[in-house]
Amino acid sequence: MGLGSRLVQFQEAHRRFVKKVHNTRFPLPPWGVQVMKCVYFAIPMFVGYQCYVYSQEQSEAKWGSKKAAFDSVKSGNRAHILGKERKVGAGGVGGGVHLIDSSGEEQVKLMKGLDRVLKGVKKESS
């Protein structure tokens, strides 16, 4: 018995179950309707939260706590990463742009280039 035939059997059994449940009618009082609305709302919320917690636990098990890996102590373009002080941003971890370390002349040049690009985008969208 292959996987395909098992899936077909499962689908048929599920269809029969759903038909049986949905064809069975119990008249509910107004408070019962409200309770069922809460149940139908709460089940996906609970399952989603459990999936979130599970994935977070798996991530921490694989990568360790983020707090242990990255200290939040920063000063300028330096940060403590994995117990070592490293340069971040321009020329450091993650690349970045050289606006902080660049001269005023270089910043003006970059801003002019940005203006040209944005004007070109504006013309194309018009």
pLDDT at position 34 over 80: yes
pLDDT at position 99 over 70: no
Of 113, 94, 91, nearest in space to 102 by CA = 91
**Can you tell me whether residue 9 is helix, strand or coil?**
helix
Where residue 90 falls among pLDDT bands split at 50, 70, 90? Answer: low
Sorted by where each begins, the domain ranges of the chain are 3-63, 65-95, 98-126
pLDDT at position 71 over 50: no
